[in-house]
Amino acid sequence: MDLRRHFRELHARPFVIPNPWDVGSARIFASLGFSALATTSGGFAATLGRRDGRVTRHEALVHGTAIAEATPLPVSADLEAGFGDSPQAVSETIARASATPLAGCSIEDWSGGANPRLYPRELAVDRIRAAVESARHDASPLVLTARCENHLRGNPDLADTIARLSAYQEAGADVLYAPGLRDLGEIRSLVASVDRPVNVLILPGGPSVPELFAAGATRVSVGSAIAMAAQAAAVEAARELLNPGTHTFWTRALASAKEISAALE
């Protein structure tokens, strides 16, 4: 099966795409019946003992490859800002990603790094255009998701978000994504303003998956949320073991042990 073509076709209808952080979680999610997976830069960084944004391009691509090879599902990689400010750096990242089994990837317009900033719109568009052109060198191009980071970075300007995503659409992006949007009215406005599938990130206290689909979202992802939930469960269990020294976490762990074991065979 051409997983890139299959992943592109999945966007003809709404679906949920969970974000595994390692091979084990990828296999567990696949066993539950999801149709595709996406990596999480934050979740993966935590497995290396680092904060989000501190993974190298090589590490991200090796990780994405491992996730893609772990299940028969298409996988989209979180490639952050493309591991370089220039369009040329983004083009190189996409070229390397195209040589892996990944079905898709995302590129965002927030630089990260030591001096993080939102890229000026013209440069941000050039970066997406370079990513698209690089992907199209492959006979079966990666499905490219363009991310506008406004609402995660203290600039909840819906008009600017729509303008940026519209420009990324014109540059050739296949999927549009504005993580941080939680208002259903704003999500409807975004969906109505573009003609590409829109990915929406679930957020604490935000709309449910059915509500997001009803608002027009094609794809719903969780980012690092499930990875953080797993880490929180580990902290809770370890604290209980330390003080008071009980182990009720065993009961919770055993409740899903057979299902998890079956997924990991």
Q: What is the 3-state secondary structure (H, E, C) of the chain?
A: CCHHHHHHHHCCCCEEECCCCCHHHHHHHHHCCCCCEECCHHHHHHHCCCCCCCCCHHHHHHHHHHHHHHCCCCEEEECCCCCCCCHHHHHHHHHHHHCCCCCEEEEECECCCCCCCECCHHHHHHHHHHHHHHHCCCCCCCEEEEECCHHHCCCCCHHHHHHHHHHHHHCCCCEEECCCCCCHHHHHHHHHHCCCCEEEECCCCCCCHHHHHHCCCCEEECCCHHHHHHHHHHHHHHHHHHCCCCCCHHHHHHHCHHHHHHHCC
Position 145 in a domain = yes
Alpha-carbon 66 to chain mean position: 16
- Is the residue at 248 inside a domain? no
Q: Identify whether 176 is part of a domain.
A: yes
Q: What angle do CA 73, 78, 81 make, to 5 degrees?
A: 155
71 within some domain: yes
pLDDT in tens, 247-260: 999 999 999 989 99
Within a domain: 19: yes
Report how far apart, in Å, the C-alpha atoms of 55 and of each of 45, 146, 151, 265 are. Answer: 6, 20, 23, 29
Mean pLDDT for the chain?
97
Mean pLDDT confidence for 106-113? 95
HSE-up of residue 14 (Cα within 13 Å, Cβ side): 12
Residue 254 included in any domain: no
pLDDT of residue 199: 98
Determine how many CB atoms are found less than 10 A away from the CB of residue 136.
Answer: 14
Task: Work out how many domains the chain is built from and give that number.
Answer: 1
Asked if pLDDT for residue 265 goes beyond 80, the answer is: no
Domain that holds residue 147: 3-223
How much is the average pLDDT of 61-90?
A: 98
Measured torsion, CA atoms of residues 229, 233, 238, 241, in degrees rounded to the nearest 10: 170
Is residue 33 pLDDT above 90, yes or no? yes
78: nearest Cα among 111, 102, 99: 102
What pLDDT, in 10s, does the model give residues 111-141?
Answer: 998 889 999 999 999 999 999 999 999 999 9
Average pLDDT over residues 10-34: 98
Average pLDDT rounded to a whole number, residues 87-94: 98
The answer on pLDDT for 158 being more than 90 is yes
Residues 6+ apart with CB under 8 A from 119: 81, 85, 109, 110, 111, 127
Please check whether residue 199 lies inside any domain of the structure: yes
Whole-number pLDDT of residue 99: 98
Does 218 have pLDDT greater than 90?
yes
**pLDDT-derived band at 17, boundaries 50, 70, 90:** very high
Residue 178 domain-assigned (yes or no):
yes
Mean pLDDT throughout 223-252? 96
Average the pLDDT over 78-105 and give the result: 98
Euclidean distance between CA atoms 265 and 260, whole angstroms: 9
* Structure confidence at residue 257 (pLDDT): 86
Whichever domain contains 177, its CATH number is: 3.20.20.60
How far is Cα of residue 211 from the mean position of the Cα atoms in its chain?
A: 20
Q: Which tokens sit at 194?
A: 């573009």
Structural contact between residues 18 and 37, judged by C-beta atoms closer than 8 angstroms: yes
